[in-house]
Amino acid sequence: MAQNKTQRNDGDVMAYLESVANKRRREDSLVVKAMMEDVTGEPAEMWGSSIVGFGSYHYRYESGREGEFMLSGFAPRVQSLTLYIMGGHERYADLFARLGKHRTGKSCLYINKLADVDLDVLREIIAESVAYMRDADHIAGE
């Protein structure tokens, strides 16, 4: 059975974030890190080489594939700050409408800079996503 490409590891989160070349992206990442730690109650951990994740959940699909993945997380990419919002975007459509300037894709929320969005709404999106993921009833096969 194939494993997820992105695995939790013991990488140094702060060293990674401090290595982000773009100053604004680095500063925004520290704000998002603190917000996600507060919302999840979980410490930041590296997932793969470039994702900062918080908490985890176990999934099991009908196919038999199973594993662990982060409840929430983010990556300070060159193009944008990428936040991993689980549970599908349609679930949070009303919040996204109030968020401010952003883009979405699959489970990703792309923000160019935090100054473009309402941080209270962002916190609410993260909190709702984490609450949804902690409710194991929605996970396939559970």
DSSP per-residue letters across 95-132:
HHHHHBS-EEETTEEEES-GGGB-HHHHHHHHHHHHHH
Cα–Cα distance list, 25 to 78, 94, 103, 104, 105 (Å): 8, 26, 16, 18, 20
**What SS3 state is found at 134?**
helix
CA-to-CA distance for 85 and 4, rounded, in angstroms? 18
The share of the chain scoring above pLDDT 70, in percent, equals 92
Q: Rounded CA gap, 85 and 125, in Å?
A: 8
Query: What are phi and psi for residue 5, nearest 5 degrees?
Result: -65, -35
> What domains does the chain contain, in order, with CATH numbers?
8-137 (3.90.1150.200)
Q: What would the pLDDT profile of 35-81 be if each residue is shown by its tens digit?
A: 999 999 999 999 999 999 999 888 777 777 778 889 999 999 999 99
pLDDT confidence bin for 100, thresholds 50/70/90: very high
| Predicted local distance difference test score (pLDDT) of residue 139 | 52
Q: Are 117 and 100 in contact (CB under 8 A)?
A: yes
Sheet holding 8-9, edge to edge: 8-9, 44-47, 51-54, 72-76, 81-85, 108-111, 103-105
